Amino acid sequence: MSKLIATTLGTLCASLFIAPLFCLIAWNSFAGAFNLPTFSFWHWLAVVLAIRFTLGKTNVKVNREG
């Protein structure tokens, strides 16, 4: 049971914090060079959540043996 909770929390943290962070770093590195607007982490969090909502839910596969 603890493995299921740890996997679920790890997936949730990765999908909520890692993906928007990568988008933030990638976009802001190009935006400064091309005189484009930069966005905050919260903007990218909303974008990632909208994409995940549009494309469907994330499934977590856990081996429940042992």
How confident is the model at residue 58, as a pLDDT?
Answer: 62
As a whole number of angstroms, the distance between CA 49 and CA 57 comes to: 10
12-44 in b/e form (b: 16+ CB < 10 A) is eeeeeeebbeebbeebeeeeeeeeeeebeeeeb
Q: What does pLDDT average to in each consecutive run of 10 residues of the chain (66 residues)? A: 83 83 93 93 90 75 69
3-class DSSP assignment, residue 36: coil
How confident is the model at residue 36, as a pLDDT?
Answer: 94
| E strand segments, the chain | none
- pTM of this structure: 0.66
How confident is the model at residue 54, as a pLDDT?
Answer: 84
How confident is the model at residue 60, as a pLDDT?
Answer: 66
